[in-house]
Amino acid sequence: MREVAVVSFAQSTSVRNNAVQNEVEILMPVIQKAVADSGIPSKEIGFTCSGSADYLAGQPFAFVYGLEAIGAWPPVRESHVEADGAWALYEAWVLLQEGEIDSALVYGFGKSSPGQVRDVLTRQLDPYYLAPLWPDAISLAALQARALLESTDHTEREMAEVAARSRRDAKTNPNAQVTGDFDAEQILSDPYIVSPLRKHDCAPISDGAAAVVLAAGDLARKVSKRPAWIRGIDHRIEPHYPGVRDLTRSPSTRKAAEAAGALQSEIDVAELYAPFTSQELILRDALGLAKPNGTKINPSGGALAANPIMAAGLIRIGEAATRISNGEANRALAHATSGPCLQQNLICVLEGE
Amino acid sequence: MSDPVEIIQTPIRLEYNYTPGVARSRFLNGLAEGRILGERCERCHKVYVGGGSGACARDGIPMTEVVELPHVGTVTTFCVVNVPFAGSTVEIPYTTAAILLDGADIPLTALLQEVPAADVRMGMRVEAVWAPEDERGPTSDSIRYWRPTGEPDAPIDDVLKRMRADA
Amino acid sequence: MTAGAAETQVLTALHVLEYPYKRSVGPVIGRFLTGLRDKKLEGIRGSDGRVIVPPVEYDPQTAAELSEFIAVGPAGVVTTWAWIAEPRPNNPLQKAFAWALIRLDGADTALLHAVDAGDETRMKTGMRVKPRWREERTGHILDIECFEPEA
């Protein structure tokens, strides 16, 4: 396997509603920073891959606009996934394995504010059996949360503690949107929005973008003092229909983690893409992190502090990589998810040299 | 009714609160004032008009220099439409053209009228026909259509050369 | 140059995305939906013998092509639920209701639909529910208007 590392990462500050900028305007400074910080001249980057969802913008081919932020002249080699930027990173990593390129720019972006994102996300569901019912994203997560609470030892209090911890840790994250000292007891006295989920159990609605530059082997060593090496990366998917799955477990996360070599030794930092507190508990069970011991879970605050859909998974990889590069951690795990109720999961294992 | 079900109707409707961003807003607000506003890239010096994203697509940088453009230009390419679409009020056949305004490097796509489709040609000089002042707003409908000026055609090879990305 | 008032105001506007989607359903989904039109519910037998509802063309574990249909329901058991105090515009019911996963009698997997329980206190995992059929049925998942408590 060819050595590939994250050599830079940039993100916008997530906001509830960026009514003034379009996606390209949000993206430009993020891409410029990631490229400048990478130490690799823009025109030398071998490949660009982006992740976004046209349905967030409500326009077919909206993703093509994103290319205006990268200056695609002379013509560039690029690709796109209608998925979180974490999967764009996976594609870039695969191309880097082939050896034809030595570096790649990956970005993810989206404005969740223009539409009703809870309803927009129903458009990803089975068009025959599910989509005509319009079961929104929070409702689906609530079905999963109740199953979790009723068939395992997990509790609403644990969920509230995840919410409180996330927003408290996010206080040191300048790009987070929802931060502060919330008390689990106080959260538990709030009404449900869709039982058994309360507002604090859910990620905020965010507009934002993120970019990562990957470099291979000696190039990574040349441009970065401490590259965050991708030691393993894998993603797995479960059947789509929620009624066919055991929603209280995440076998795809487990499988991806095994294949990526995540479970082989201790993890210092785990950045998990859990837009719902209940989902963090399920992911931690799958990863053997139910009792984190030494592993710091979501020091960035995670998706509960900022959830720019289509960038949030890539941000997990970026946040984990940053902690490697700045010496805070030696071994980190980043996770991204896609689809209803944790249907599809990606695991990326990062290490310092 | 015993035929097996083969088709289902699953219509969707989603509403969005859309913002075009700064550049296109400026373009549309300009139209409300009877002006055509574009912007110039400080790096490659190309002039964009028609309200793109606000980025120079060549350089990937924001454009901040605003340029006001005249209301005349050259047809660079065009197509003749023979098929109506639902809600259209334009007489068939009609011609849409990519019009390079004098001073711009990116063409605007717009409707041509007051010229038979068979007479439209690359290089033809055209001018904007505006809606009456009290009917203008931040919408591309503020310019009703474009029509020939009657000037001799512009040398099309020079015009096309200007539009090349590597020019 | 200055752009006057044009410079000062970023615009927003309502944008409506509408598609009239018509979808061909194929023989497996088509059979299930045809059944709904006739107030019948069917599952399909999977590779490991379990009865999958709603039916799928290929086994979720083995990808084998499936073809054996089994009658299920009409009633079933709620395996999980979520209370919607405020329905969203396109939901099956426009009053407070529960989403539920419902394992119909004879099925091994659960169907997702709405339950008109009237009040959240009536919802309970394990409760039995039965379909409320729409008067005019066309062969569509919404031929079931919703489920309701069996009692």
Q: How far is C127 from chain B (nearest CA, A)?
A: 31
C4 has pLDDT over 50: no
Which of 75-94 (C) contact A at CB < 8 A?
79-85, 88-92
Q: Coil, helix or strand for A213?
A: strand
Q: What is the pLDDT of residue B89?
A: 85
Percent of chain A scored above 70 by pLDDT?
A: 100
> Does residue B162 belong to the interface with chain A, where contact is any CB pair within 8 Å?
no
Q: What is the DSSP string of A149-177?
A: HHHSS--HHHHHHHHHHHHHHGGG-TT-S
> Does residue C100 belong to the interface with chain A, where contact is any CB pair within 8 Å?
yes
- Other beta carbons within 10 Å of C36: 23
Q: Coil, helix or strand for A86?
A: helix
Q: What is the pLDDT of residue A264?
A: 86
Give residue-wise pLDDT tens across range A13-43.
Answer: 999 999 889 999 999 999 999 999 999 999 9
Mean local confidence (pLDDT), C52-71:
96
Give residue-wise pLDDT tens across range B64-99.
Answer: 899 999 999 999 999 999 998 888 888 899 999 999
Q: Which contiguous run of DSSP H or E holds residue B28?
A: helix B22-32
Kindly indicate the confidence band of residue B163, based on its pLDDT and cuts at 50, 70 and 90. confident
Cβ-defined contact of C101 to A143 (cutoff 8 Å): yes
- Residue from the list B20, B24, B165 with its beta carbon closest to the beta carbon of A73: B165
Q: What is the pLDDT of residue C7?
A: 58
B17 has pLDDT over 50: yes
C147 has pLDDT over 70: yes
- Supply the mean pLDDT for chain C: 94
Percent of chain B scored above 90 by pLDDT?
A: 77
A62, two tokens: 């909206």
Residue A149: closest CA among chain C residues belongs to which residue?
A: C80
Q: How far is CA B126 from the centre of its chain?
A: 13
Contact A66, A50 (CB under 8 A): yes
Min mean pLDDT across A63-72, A113-122, A325-334, B34-43 is at A63-72
A292 has pLDDT over 80: no
Give residue-wise pLDDT tens across range C75-131.
Answer: 999 999 999 999 998 999 999 999 999 999 999 999 999 999 999 999 999 999 999
Residues in B closer than 8 angstroms to C9, CB to CB, are: 25, 29
Hey, what long-range contacts does C81-85 have (CB within 8 A, 24 or more apart)? C81/A143, C81/A146, C81/C115, C81/C123, C81/C125, C82/A139, C82/A142, C82/A143, C82/A145, C82/A146, C82/A194, C82/A195, C82/A196, C82/A197, C83/A192, C83/A194, C83/A195, C83/C120, C83/C123, C84/A139, C84/A194, C85/A192, C85/A194, C85/C120
Residue A245: closest CA among chain C residues belongs to which residue?
A: C109
- Supply the mean pLDDT for chain A: 96
Min mean pLDDT across A12-16, A72-76, B97-101 is at A72-76
Q: What are phi and psi for residue A271, nearest 5 degrees? A: -100, 110
- ipTM for the predicted complex comes to 0.95
Q: What is the pLDDT of residue B21?
A: 87
- Other beta carbons within 10 Å of A124: 19
Q: What is the pLDDT of residue A89?
A: 98
